[in-house]
Amino acid sequence: MHALNPKYIIDNTGKKISVVLPMKDFKAIMEELEELEDIKLYDEAKKSKEPSFPIDDAFKMIEAKRKVK
């Protein structure tokens, strides 16, 4: 992750209550969070006892079911 340069909004007692970030920093943080969520979901799926299929096979199965209906 790259260095951030946040700006803070403080209340009248000097307590930090909000952070202002440049959009590029915000977007970078959001991308990192999405990647972490994907990793978490992958780890959960690997622990699961549910059967898994290669993505191409899964798409073929879905398309086959659509054609039947």
20-62 pLDDT tens trace: 999 999 999 999 999 999 999 989 988 988 888 889 998 999 9
pLDDT on residue 53: 81
Helices marked H in 1-69: 23-47, 55-68
- The number of residues making up the chain comes to 69
Q: How many CB atoms lie within 10 A of CB 21?
A: 14
CA 61 from centre of chain: 27
**Cβ atoms 6, 29 nearer than 8 A:** no
Q: Is the pLDDT of residue 15 over 90?
A: yes
Q: Is the pLDDT of residue 1 over 80?
A: no
Instruction: Specify the pTM.
Output: 0.61
CA 19 to each of CA 10, 16, 63: distance values in angstroms, whole numbers, following the listed order: 9, 8, 47
**Average pLDDT for 61-68:** 88
